[in-house]
Amino acid sequence: MLNNFQKNIKTLVKQIPNIQSLISTKSAIYFGLATYWAVILFGTFLNI
């Protein structure tokens, strides 16, 4: 069982994305969160 777990960890580590795709993922998440909060704030102020 422990051997299986160790193999799974090794395959997960190999699949970790490189730095450039990590940065683009991070910026996409920030953009999505900013859009989400903008919709909430505009909806609050405009009483939608």
What is the model's pLDDT at position 19? 56
Residue 15 CA to residue 21 CA, distance in Å, equals: 12
Residue 6 CA to residue 1 CA, distance in Å, equals: 9
Residue 22 CA to residue 30 CA, distance in Å, equals: 12
Each of the 48 residues of the chain gets a pLDDT tens digit; together they read 566 777 777 776 666 665 566 667 788 899 999 999 999 999 888 876
What is the model's pLDDT at position 40? 92
What is the model's pLDDT at position 28? 86
Contacts of 25 (CB under 8 A, 6+ apart): 17
Work out the end-to-end distance of the chain between its first and last CA atoms, rounded to an integer number of angstroms.
55
